[in-house]
Structure 1
């Protein structure tokens, strides 16, 4: 407790910095736990090197099995010996973000292990969320990993946009397994898409090294810095280079008029960033807005609005209607309450 982290925070953890690095070296290895679609429940190294023992003349072994269970144990319809489980991944991501809040940008690890690309723990959490998003996101050919090449589920207009929330997923291919309606924890995908989906690369595309990639955390921090700067004080050049030609965020409802003349969905100014300005000057071509007073389809309140205003207004209107006796349903109850108040 003597050491304080970023912003004087304290950290209560079962592992210290050295042990955390040792754990992450294996967890972020693509030959062990890190798959294209999240963190596996068992290291892939046990495919060739199963854990075995003999007990009372009986041989037992545990090996890496990425898909359906090969044993009737535990009901036979679930497998914790290799597949990706959203619940476990979510807890890992939450833990990484808490470590990041303590260590900040100073604690970096290789991700994936052996790639030579070092990230702080916020970026590591984001990378895992991107890989999980690839389970359900369609690639450039319209195929989703969870459908395992099923043409009807991938391309039929009556099926392709209706996704199953599977219980767990193949540790190698991402194929959906188990119950197909496990929204209890697989529904957590919605939060991951909300948090980091805007700059998630398309499935089956090469991973961009951190040095050239845009990240959710970078985007958040830089936007905050830009908002604190006056437009006249903006630097002439781009503050950050952003390329979204291979990102899920680029495949939105943005038109060429909205995106600017250079075809970059995030760069309306054509100057290499996504701030909507051309070297500090506003660009009229960017007319898209997420706010309800600019776009009736979006329906989001502006940041300065209280998000509870619609609820508060509804409650106030209902109370006013009841008190004014417009509703006969509550007239007798109100009269009885008023009589009781007068008696007191």
Structure 2
């Protein structure tokens, strides 16, 4: 890298939302310490920011990422920071996820005015969420409540509860933590065993071009947390396998412990009346996946790629879900 490149700021492309700016700022601060270079945030407007239709109608997967990735490929920025749960499983040609920092709290939380637990809400209570997965979960866990399909930033969603328009909203714990906003509403954390969340929830993905300078790739690798990368690779493997024949709302959460990974995954019928789930623990065999390698997973023993192996675990879980009838939980129009 030339002296001029070392002096030039690293341009970090990010959505304009307060949450996106906040999580990009956390990455920027860490990258500045590692690289010794200034990191400049480049705001980019995505389709998800301008299209106010329901996520269930326009499809949540990819609508926040496409414009940002175009900017990266066009040289408008050097790196991107995404909420990993917003990324499609297929990586575009020429791009790589160079780092997955340590995952934050992957749980969902319910925010309400009086602290009534979700399952105890009165009949007709209005619960706001725009996620098809959360909609199915609410209908299963609080069948007497009315689900209101909403969009908007964290502040506006909380404001609709404070004003009395809604009785509760469901948000990601990681988003509340990263944005650092004051929460005056009562908070109920939803346990992952009963309420698993979206693949990659709580995780960030730092993306760059495959031909990025070696010095930049090396700096980004220092941001990577291997246990997080392996866990989210399992989760995204489940999602990838289900997309072939199942578009139902689904959840997957994996935890790497020692030399094994436990993955809890559920596919829901859209109305929440049925579900098919698995809770399995798979070995990460010594000599096949090693957890003390480099941040990019390249230091696996015997030449095995730990990320490839983690993906195969996820694909295997997806096949088992499909074998148990997961594809039948959605109507033909949704397939």
Q: Which has the higher Rg, Structure 1 or Structure 2?
A: 1
Larger RCO (CA within 8 A; separation ≥ 6): 2
| TM-score strictly above 0.5 | no
TM-score by length of 1: 0.26
TM-score by length of 2: 0.26
